[in-house]
Amino acid sequence: MYSRRKFIKDGSLAAGGLLLASSSFSNFFIPRAPKVVIIGAGFAGLSAAYYLYKKKIDFVILEARNRIGGRVFSHIMDQKENLVIELGAEWVGNSHERLQNLCNVFGLELQKNQFDSHLIYQGRYYKNGEWDYSEGWKKKFQSIIDSYSKLTHADKLKLDKMDWWRFLVNNGCEGRDLDLRELLDSTDFGETIRSVSAFAALAEYAESSEKNEMDLKIKGGNSMLAKKIAAAIGEEKIKLQHKVNRITQNAKTGVTVYCENGQVFKADKIICTAPTFAVKNIKWEPGLPADQINAMNELQYARINKNPLLFKKRFWKDESFDMVTDQSPHYFYHATKNQNSKKGVLISYTIGEKAAVVANQTDDWRENMVMQTLKPHFNDAKEEFERMTNYYWGNDMYSHGAYAVYGKGQWFRVMPILKRSHIHTHFAGEHLAEWQGFMEGAINTGEEAAAKIR
Ligand SMILES: Cc1cc2nc3c(=O)[nH]c(=O)nc-3n(C[C@H](O)[C@H](O)[C@H](O)COP(=O)(O)OP(=O)(O)OC[C@H]3O[C@@H](n4cnc5c(N)ncnc54)[C@H](O)[C@@H]3O)c2cc1C
């Protein structure tokens, strides 16, 4: 039986095969190569561009921001110490083959970025290894994961109609076990598990690596891959601060793409990798079909706030330190693992309502909040604190969230509608991927969209 991910992989191979077939046909008939406008220089747009570049198909990337990478956003936290942290995507999964392949191609080193989780729960601090789920729930959860491969399509549709919290409760998860699952799983999805499709959650846990794809990171920051692809395809092919605001498409004459800065581009095809919020803000002529607009209106994105705190000393001692808490800072992790310095950065990673609250406060407020959680268990936290920065994805003007959250009944109903091409436009981006919510998914969909260009 097909798994969620195998299906898409084989689909993209088939598309690649078609492309090859049509180019060998060109020995007899040489059609004019299409020109392509790619909207967005995130991982979906860049991987689409790299695919077209290798096929010698002409393209231009139009990017609204003044930087490439999109939701991959490495940031230097301390210039002198060269401490680089991620304001967007952090982990590369052990199962994320395309991303790892691209790192190989461009000579980028992937460093181990796995963590050993500590816990603060109901006022008590537990070191890694001192806490766990109950034996009964561990056994039950394993049996649920094991049964995933036997689910029929009808079972999956039924599961998708339920939220992950309800599914866990129905399977006997309760009390402390349920609290812990909510804390850990909401960190993965960026919102409470009461708003996540049970199918999407189960598929992710059943098909992911042991550490749930929190395995690796690109040395020097994940943005290194964006830079390498940009250099390979030619930086002049990427037009920064070119926000697309209108698109006209004609079945016979192709497309015209208008930017807010007055620039106009004519092409044959478009690959649009913008998140749904940004897609809807473009004036499409003719308009997008009503069901596609409804699907965009339905889909929510996770509110994640990243609050990196620079400390003069790594008082948490363990280089692989991360910590889940049932308090306002939610989840902490050591963001400068593998980076040589006395100083270090802990990121407080908040989700959902917590993120929205934390994002709206002052740095002093955030410092007090973090210290209230850390100080009782880590004496030196306050003395060693140097400064912080903050990025709230819920207010990001292009995505209004970190990544899509497929809720009850949405995975099988909403995603296929969003994936549909519109005249000459193929859509891509993490929200359309089997590895949804991951850099890998963005790359997969970018390559799949590019493979459709003939
Ligand atoms: C806080 C956070 C944590 C994450 N953690 C992980 C993780 O640990 N591991 C992982 O694999 N993934 C993680 N992700 C998800 C990952 O970052 C995304 O899945 C991926 O980067 C999305 O790539 P994309 O190309 O689909 O979209 P984007 O990166 O958003 O690219 C789309 C681009 O389109 C541009 N754009 C939008 N509208 C227009 C317009 N009108 N005209 C021109 N350009 C436009 C945008 O500016 C953007 O650059 C995380 C994301 C966030 C925010």
Torsion-angle region of 438 (φ positive above 0: left; ψ -120 to 50: alpha; else: beta): beta
**CB 244 near ligand 1, within 6 Å:** yes
- What is the distance in A from the centroid of ligand 1 to the CA of 373? 31
Q: Which residue's CA lies nearest to atom 9 of ligand 1?
A: 91
Backbone angles phi, psi at 217, to 5 degrees: -155, 150
pLDDT > 90? residue 9: no
- What is the distance in A from the centroid of ligand 1 to the CA of 255? 25
Task: Decide if 358 contacts 350 (C-beta within 8 A).
Answer: yes
What does the pLDDT look like over 43-94, one tens digit per residue? Answer: 999 999 999 999 999 999 999 999 999 999 999 999 999 999 999 999 999 9
Dihedral, CA of residue 50, residue 54, residue 60 and residue 62, to nearest 10: -10
User: Which residue blocks in 257-391 are alpha helix, DSSP H?
Assistant: 276-281, 290-298, 352-359, 363-374, 381-384
Could you tell me the residue ranges of all domains in the chain? 4-69+222-299+403-451, 117-207
**CB 433 near ligand 1, within 6 Å:** no
Mean pLDDT rounded to a whole number for the chain: 93
Confidence tier at 8 by pLDDT (50, 70, 90): very low
- Which among 129, 105, 131, 107 is positioned nearest to 50, based on CA atoms? 105
What does the pLDDT look like over 13-49, one tens digit per residue? Answer: 333 333 333 333 334 445 566 799 999 999 999 999 9
- Which among 130, 166, 73 is positioned nearest to 324, based on CA atoms? 130
CATH of domain 4-69+222-299+403-451: 3.50.50.60
Query: What is residue 16's predicted lDDT score, i.e. its pLDDT?
Result: 37
**The pTM is what?**
0.94
Proportion of the chain above pLDDT 90, given as a percent: 90
State yes or no: cis peptide before 286, omega within 30 of 0: yes
What does the pLDDT look like over 292-306, one tens digit per residue? Answer: 999 999 999 999 999
- What is the distance in A from the centroid of ligand 1 to the CA of 71? 3
Q: Compute the distance between CA of residue 199 and CA of residue 208 in angstroms, rounded to an integer.
A: 14
Q: Which of 73, 218, 403, 436 to mutate to test the pocket of ligand 1 (most atoms within 8 A of CB)?
A: 403
pLDDT > 60? residue 401: yes
Report which ligand 1 atom has the smallest distance to the Cα of 281. 41
**CB 308 near ligand 1, within 6 Å:** no
What does the pLDDT look like over 312-359, one tens digit per residue? Answer: 999 999 999 999 999 999 999 999 999 999 999 999 999 999 999 999
**CB 45 near ligand 1, within 6 Å:** yes
- 117-207 topology per CATH: Guanine Nucleotide Dissociation Inhibitor; domain 1 (1.10.405)
Task: Decide if 322 contacts 283 (C-beta within 8 A).
Answer: no
